[in-house]
Structure 1
C-alpha cells in the first residue's frame, strides 16, 4: 500500500497537476492509505488490557476528510488549514488510551502520558459527562482517557478487583432496599387491624 501511494505521488508531480489539486488530493489519498493499511496487532501481555477509542472512529476520520476536502477545492489558497483537521483527529484516535497493567494505570492522551500506581487509586467517579475519573488517595482525580460509562465494566474487570465494582454495589443496595420493603409490607400485614364499632 505505501508503494502505491508513492507511485501516486510521483504521478501527481510528473503529470504536472495544478497545485490546488495536487495539495488537495495528496493528503486525502494519504489518509485513505493510512486508514486502509492493515495493522499488526502484537500479542497482548498477560494481565494487560488496553482500552482505546473504538475503531469505528476511523470512519469518522474518513467522513471528516471528505467534508474538509470539498471546501478546500473551492478556495485552496485560504482553506488549506482545513486539511489538518483529519490529521489531528486521527492522532487523537490513535493515541488516546488507558492501559490497565498489574502495576497500575497508564494514561495516554494526544499531548502526554501519565502512570498511576494501584496503591494510589482509591476508586472511580462517574461524572455526568465525559470520561470516567479515578479518585486518588490524596483526594485528587485523574481523567481516564477513552473510558466512558460504556467501558466502565471493562475497566473494572481488567483491574482484577483493585477498582470496586460499582455495578455490584448498586445491585446489592437495590436488593437490600427491596428486602427491607418486603419485610415492612409483611409486618404491616401481620399487625391486627382495629375493627370499627
Structure 2
C-alpha cells in the first residue's frame, strides 16, 4: 500500500466514459408532494407535538426560551423526514461527499446544544449555530470527478476546478483528506476523500489515476511468492543434506568389514 505522503503518478489513458456513473450525493429534497402517507403522518406528528408543547408551555407559563428553543431540533427532525428524489445518474460525473449518516450526528449535536440554551437563552443563543454549521459542512463538502477534471467544494473555501492535465498524482497523508499533487509540485486537499474513499476516487477517474490497490496487491503477491520459493529452496537443501548424511552412515559399516 502506498506509504504516507507518497506521490502516485497518474497512468496515461485515453479513456472516455461512455456511461454515466451514479453520483455519490442525493439530489435536493423532493418536497411534501412526493412524500408517502407514512412520512406525511410522521411529519405531522412532529409538528403537532411541538405545537402542543408550545400551548402547554404557554398555559404553564414556561419561559419563552424553552418554547422557542425546541424549534431547532424539531426543524432538524422534519428536515430529515422530508423525502428525497431518486438519484439521477449524470453521464461521466461522480460526486464523493460526506456520508448522509452524518446527519445523525447533526441531530445529536442539536439536542446537546439545546439543553444549555434552555438554561440561559440570552447568553447561549450562539450555540444554536453549531448544528447549522454542521449541516453546511455536510452539504457543501464534496469532490466531483468528471471527464473535465476535479471540482472541489468545501464549507469555507470557494469551489475550485483542477484539469486532469494539472494532476501529476495523489498523495496519501497519515491523517486527513487525500491530496492531489499538481504539476507545480503543490498539493491540494480533496474534500470528503479520505483513505476509505480512495478506491472510489480511483474507479471514478476512469484510469486517469493508477490503481494503487492493484499495485499493492501485485507487490504483496510477488513478496509471498519469493518467500515461498526461498522456503522451498531451503527445504530442498535440507532434504539433500539429510540424504547425504544418511548415505554416509550406511557406507561406514561396509568399510569396517
| Cross-structure match for 2:219 | 173
Corresponding position: 1:122 with 2:143: no
Distance 2:196 2:87 in 1: 25
Residues 30-88 of structure 1, C-alpha deviation per residue, up to 9 Å, x if partnerless?
22222222232451211111111111101110111011101111111111100110000
Q: Where do 1:1-197 residues align within 5 Å?
A: 18-111=63-156, 112-191=158-237, 193=241
Query: Structure 2: which 5+ runs fail to align?
Result: 1-30, 33-42, 249-257
Query: C-alpha root-mean-square deviation of aligned residues, in Å?
Result: 3.0
Residues 147-179 of structure 1, C-alpha deviation per residue, up to 9 Å, x if partnerless?
111111111111111111111111111112222
Q: What is the TM-score of this pair, normalised by structure 1? A: 0.85
Distance 2:97 2:121 in 1: 34
Q: Which protein has the larger Cα radius of gyration, Structure 1 or Structure 2?
A: 2
Distance 1:67 1:32 in 2: 14
Query: Structure 1: which 5+ runs fail to align?
Result: none
Distance 2:155 2:66 in 1: 30
| Ranges of 4+ aligned residues in structure 1 off by more than 6 Å | 1-9, 194-197
Distance 1:139 1:130 in 2: 19
Distance 2:161 2:99 in 1: 22
Distance 1:40 1:110 in 2: 24
Distance 2:223 2:79 in 1: 54
Which structure ranks higher in relative contact order (CA pairs < 8 Å, sequence separation ≥ 6)?
2
